[in-house]
């Protein structure tokens, strides 16, 4: 009976000893791993797109919305939704028009600088010419 108690105490003390040393060894050899996270705060970017069929240029003011972000140190890649304002000239008198629009796409960021590749679906009710456009923009990550 005493042998069983001694074996149990030896086994239990060795487990406690190794369990306490394990984090120390892991912290020395541990490398930084990418983290996947869901973020609600994004960025503010300006992007532009020149339409091929017309000479119009659309400018988008993007407010980065929710997205999935993969971070590796100071570099991050995220797939985001981009609530935006689209500015373009419309009509024969070329008046400046601002229209709210929602985009989706990738965003690359390093520290506080963001490079965005948002895509927008433009629906034209008069001509029934609905298209997806992709713009490229530069901005500040919040």
Q: What is the pLDDT of residue 56?
A: 67
Would you place residue 7 in the very low, low, confident or very high pLDDT band (cuts 50, 70, 90)? low
- Domain residue ranges in the chain: 1-30, 35-141
d(CA 19, CA 131): 59
- The residues with which 48 forms a beta bridge, in sequence order, are 59, 136
d(CA 70, CA 38): 9
Query: What is the average pLDDT across 25-32?
Result: 53
pLDDT over 70 (residue 9): no
d(CA 118, CA 35): 23
Query: What is the average pLDDT across 6-33?
Result: 51
Q: What is the pLDDT of residue 104?
A: 92
Which tops the pLDDT comparison, 113 or 20? 113
Across the chain, where does the E strand assignment appear?
Answer: 35-39, 43-50, 57-63, 67-72, 75-90, 95-110, 113-122, 131-134, 136-141
What length does the chain have?
142
SS3 78: strand
Q: What is the pLDDT of residue 26?
A: 47
What is the pairing mode between strands 57-63 and 95-110?
Answer: unpaired
Domain 35-141 falls under CATH 2.40.128 = yes
């Amino acid at each position: 009976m005493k042998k069983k108690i001694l074996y149990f105490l030896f086994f239990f003390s060795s487990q406690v000893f190794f369990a306490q040393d394990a984090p120390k060894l892991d912290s020395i050899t541990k490398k930084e791993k990418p983290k996947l996270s869901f973020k609600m705060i994004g960025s503010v970017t300006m992007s532009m797109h020149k339409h091929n069929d017309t000479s119009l240029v659309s400018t988008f003011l993007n407010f980065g919305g929710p997205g999935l972000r993969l971070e590796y140190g100071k570099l991050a890649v995220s797939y985001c939704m981009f609530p935006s304002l689209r500015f373009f000239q419309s009509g024969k008198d070329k008046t400046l028009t601002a229209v709210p629009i929602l985009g989706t796409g990738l965003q690359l960021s390093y520290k506080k600088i963001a490079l965005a590749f948002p895509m927008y679906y433009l629906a034209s009710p008069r001509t029934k010419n609905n298209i997806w456009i992709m713009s490229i923009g530069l901005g500040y990550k919040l």
